[in-house]
């Protein structure tokens, strides 16, 4: 068993090393699930086989010592210098391969349940959500607000509320579901989205915008025009440079329900299909989003982002956001 455990830890180190070095895209949910299953198997084996076997061996040792003392007493030898307490403790001690498997099972399964059904941490890797979220922000995502989903499969089993316009959501990137993206919902099923000349229109009505002056983007080391944007009673900040072109190319991109969209030199418009959402980055001129690769299916949703729990370069970033 020790050799098997060493081999499993070697495979884990190889997988994590390749993931870290970029040789493949890791799946942390699947990894936690497999670790829960493997350590759970060790935990059951420890509880119902290995621990009882060690306890039986320790009991047998004590019984043998008691029988030996009794025989020596019959021979008139009253003093025996052979304390078995240390040997008994060594027999009861978990070997390293059980300590690092069965011993970790409660921690791993606790993290798996917490991450799968309650809250999941993410790190912001790019500037597409500036000024709301900055590169390096460590955020929390509410996993149950949009319904309870099976881990790994992401299959919804209990419905809850649907995403609303203005929500910041984490989702599996439709062109490559192995990747997680974060954007803001600007269109829900049935909405008509028009983005032309750097302005957003929702169902025929311009989305309210108000200038907030300039924002210094530390990532790009430049100042950018900053605005507030409002969906209903939800207000958030965006970066939009009216001097930049809205041109998306001469041909419409290819993605599911692309026939719902029209592109021109001034911008684009889309009708959001049922069960899908139209998302955009708050850094409108520096975001690859639904304007380019299409709609986000409901089954790709991971959860709603709501809190920055750490930014090691700027502790003032800690807190909630819109």
User: pLDDT tens digits, residue range 70-120?
Assistant: 787 777 776 666 677 888 888 889 999 999 999 999 999 999 999 999 999
Collapse the DSSP code of 142 into the 3-class scheme (helix H, G, I; strand E, B; otherwise coil) and give the result: strand
Residue of 36, 116, 143, 183 marked active site: 183
Collapse the DSSP code of 43 into the 3-class scheme (helix H, G, I; strand E, B; otherwise coil) and give the result: helix
Residue of 36, 116, 128, 287 marked active site: 128
Positive or negative torsion for Cα 203, 271, 172, 215: negative
> Prior bond to 206 cis, omega within 30?
no
29 CB-near residues (< 8 Å, 6+ apart): 115, 116, 151, 152
Which segment of 97-111, 200-214, 242-256, 270-284 scores lowest on mean pLDDT?
242-256
Q: Which whole number is the average pLDDT over 245-268?
A: 80
Boundaries of every domain in the chain? 2-112, 118-320
pLDDT digits (tens, 9 = 90+) for 6-28: 999 999 999 999 998 989 988 99
Our answer to whether residue 183 is catalytic in this structure is yes
d(CA 268, CA 270): 7
- Residue 208 sits at φ, ψ, to 5 deg, of -55, 130
Helix H or strand E encompassing 98: helix 96-99
Question: Crossing angle of helices 28-45/2-21, nearest 10°?
Answer: 170
pLDDT at residue 250 tops 60 = no
Our answer to whether residue 128 is catalytic in this structure is yes
pTM of the model: 0.86
CATH code reported for the domain at 118-320 = 2.10.109.10
pLDDT digits (tens, 9 = 90+) for 181-238: 999 999 999 999 999 888 999 999 999 999 999 998 777 778 889 999 999 889 999 9
């Amino acid at each position: 068993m020790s050799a098997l455990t060493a081999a499993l830890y070697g495979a884990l180190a190889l997988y994590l090393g390749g993931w870290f070095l970029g040789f493949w895209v890791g799946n942390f949910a699947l990894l936690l699930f497999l670790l829960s299953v493997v350590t759970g198997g060790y935990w059951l084996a420890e509880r119902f086989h290995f621990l009882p076997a060690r306890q039986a061996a320790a009991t047998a040792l004590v019984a043998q010592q008691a029988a030996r003392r009794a025989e020596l007493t019959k021979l008139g030898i009253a003093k025996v210098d052979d304390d078995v307490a240390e040997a008994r403790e060594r027999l009861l001690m978990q070997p390293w391969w059980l300590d690092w498997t069965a011993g970790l099972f409660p921690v791993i399964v606790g993290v798996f349940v917490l991450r799968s059904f309650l809250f999941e941490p993410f790190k912001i890797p790019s500037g597409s959500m500036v000024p709301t979220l900055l590169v390096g922000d460590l955020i929390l995502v509410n996993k149950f607000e949009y319904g309870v989903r099976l881990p790994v499969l992401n299959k919804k089993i209990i419905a809850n509320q649907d995403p609303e316009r203005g929500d910041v959501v984490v989702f599996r990137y439709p062109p490559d579901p192995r990747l997680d993206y974060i954007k803001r919902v600007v269109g829900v099923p049935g909405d008509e989205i028009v983005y032309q000349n750097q302005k957003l229109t929702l169902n025929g009505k311009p989305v309210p915008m108000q200038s907030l002056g300039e924002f210094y983007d530390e990532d790009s080391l430049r100042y950018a025009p900053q605005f507030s944007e409002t969906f209903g009673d939800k207000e958030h900040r965006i970066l939009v440079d009216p001097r930049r072109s809205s041109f998306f190319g001469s041909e419409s991109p290819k993605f599911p329900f692309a026939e719902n969209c029209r592109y021109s030199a001034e911008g684009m418009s889309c009708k959001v299909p049922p069960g899908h959402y139209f998302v955009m980055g708050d850094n409108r001129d520096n975001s690859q989003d639904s304007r380019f690769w299409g709609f986000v299916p409901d089954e790709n949703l991971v959860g709603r982002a709501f809190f920055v729990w750490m930014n090691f370069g700027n502790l003032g970033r800690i807190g909630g956001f819109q």
